[in-house]
Amino acid sequence: MIMSLPEEDLTCPVCCDIFTDPVLLSCSHSFCRGCLKRCWDSGLRECPVCRKRASKSSPPCNLALKNVCEALLQVRRQSSVEEEMMNCNLHGEKLKLFCLVDKQPICVVCQSSKLHKTHDCSPIEEAVLDCKDELTISLKILQDKLDSLKHIQRNSEDMFGYIKSQVLSTQRIIKDQFEQLHQILYEEESARLAAVKKEEEEKTARTKERIKDISAEVQSLRETISIIQEQLKENDMVLLKTFKDTQDRCRSIAFGSNSMSGLLIDVTKHLSNLKYTVLEKMLAHVDITSVTLDPNTAHPCLILSDDLTSLHYSKQPSHCPDNPERFHMSAEVVAMTALGSGSHRWVVETGRNQDWLLGVVSLSVRRNVEISARPEYGFWTLCFRDGAFRAMTSPPTTLTLSTTPKQIKVQLEYNKGTVSFFDNVNDTLIYTFKHTFTETLFPYFYTQSSHPLRIMPEKVLFTMLRQ
């Protein structure tokens, strides 16, 4: 619409140029404000065209004409820039090709030069489409990465509250057990509370540092995404000229590790066999369990006892962070004890629990996907479900037992490559797996019953050696 107006309609009669800040006289003639002022300063206060006397008040701005003139000047400037952008800076020729090696637009003279003679080129029109497609793909990848980092960031922030609840729970349990050991254990209790507090500070500091790193990555990604979005809005030639720099910026972004492993409070370290560690002070008999559950691996629907020796299923999942160590798909948990060599055994009281799996599992088992409990997937387990016992081989082996054991002894001979299950009451063998173990193993527990599975304590005797 602007270009359809005759240019003389937009030209000041005094300076013969496009109006600048035009004003309107009562006679309907318009002039640049500066031109009119110079005319009036050197003569009568009248219209320079029709000589009609003007009022003494300042003439009003011709806003409509001003807007049209400014729009015309803008179009001229843009056309000039676009025309300049379309020509080669070196040869003045029109940029018609895009060098696929150097990722920049070139002219036909450039193509014949030594710099680009051996390079593959494509027409500008094709290059624009290809570059837009490539930038769109890069933008999608970066946006997905940003979403992933935001999720990790939110989960990291959630860990603050959970770490605090772990600290409070752990401190409460420690206090309860130390109260049972009376005043003689006061110094030990204080030392352990201090250890929990120190670990809280360390884990909190590490978590803050991780969030700081993630925030920096998020900011970097946002800036790069913003740049790409702005480039996609530019005209084609601007996009092509800046394409290489933009892609180099995308490739230069280095992402840190997304792992959040090891940030939770090591509850087992503070609570495992707590009473046993102070037996030398008590000089008496206490219970000890060779296997202690690791709450940082427990599925949210599993409820663990304060002493980490029993578990049962709840339909109401607890609120816990989505840390990598945790089982996410089914009601599973492993013990903290790593089994890498030698002989190991523990007894689990099943009681009235009618739905359980017990055994060992490999360290490398994935915990965020649903996997069948089979040896080929790193599981060596005994299952009791629907009133039947099964050894979880491939396929499962149904077992016939004369009685239903209430206590199951699990015995691992790592070096010999066997995992055996016994009725602990009469020491009757139920089933033995044979396998050559190459990975670290962990005691494994699964249940979907509200009746608990309990790791039975062992009695330990202290004897005094006299010289």
Other C-beta atoms closer than 10 Å to the C-beta of 222 total 12
Other C-beta atoms closer than 10 Å to the C-beta of 458 total 13
Q: Where are the beta strands (DSSP E) in 231-320?
A: 286-288, 302-304, 310-313
What pLDDT shows up at residue 305? 94
What pLDDT shows up at residue 73? 83
With a CB cutoff of 8 Å and minimum separation 6, the contacts of 242 are 231, 234
What pLDDT shows up at residue 198? 93
Q: Where are the alpha helices (DSSP H) in 272-395?
A: 279-282
Strand partners, 335: 293
CA-CA distance, 209 to 328, in Å (whole number)?
26
The amino acid occupying position 21 is D
What residue has token string 């599973």?
332
User: How does DSSP assign 24-50, residue by residue?
Assistant: E-TTS-EEEHHHHHHHHHHS-SB-TTT
**Domain 7-81 in this protein, CATH class:** alpha beta
What pLDDT shows up at residue 233? 84
Nearest Cα to 356, choosing from 374, 336, 333, 340? 333
What pLDDT shows up at residue 2? 47
Other C-beta atoms closer than 10 Å to the C-beta of 58 total 11
Render the burial of 96-121: b for 16+ CB within 10 Å, e for the rest.
bbbbeeebbbbbeebeeeeebeeeeb
What pLDDT shows up at residue 117? 81
CA-CA distance, 144 to 130, in Å (whole number)?
21
State pTM to two decimals.
0.56
Tens place of pLDDT for every residue, the chain, 467 residues? Answer: 445 567 777 899 989 888 989 998 888 899 999 898 888 887 788 888 898 888 777 889 998 889 888 888 888 777 666 666 777 877 778 888 899 888 889 898 888 888 888 899 999 888 889 999 999 999 999 999 998 888 888 878 888 888 888 898 899 888 887 777 777 667 777 888 899 999 999 989 888 888 888 888 888 888 888 888 888 888 878 788 888 887 877 877 766 555 667 788 889 988 888 777 766 667 655 678 889 999 999 999 999 999 999 999 999 988 888 888 999 889 999 999 899 999 999 999 999 999 999 999 999 998 888 889 999 999 999 999 999 999 999 999 999 998 999 999 999 999 999 999 999 999 999 999 999 999 999 999 999 999 999 999 986 665 655 55
How buried is 129 (Cβ within 10 angstroms: 0-12 exposed, 13-18 middle, 19+ buried)? exposed
CA-CA distance, 326 to 300, in Å (whole number)?
9
282-460 carries CATH number 3.40.50.280: no
For residues 334 and 444, the answer to whether their CB atoms sit within 8 Å is: yes
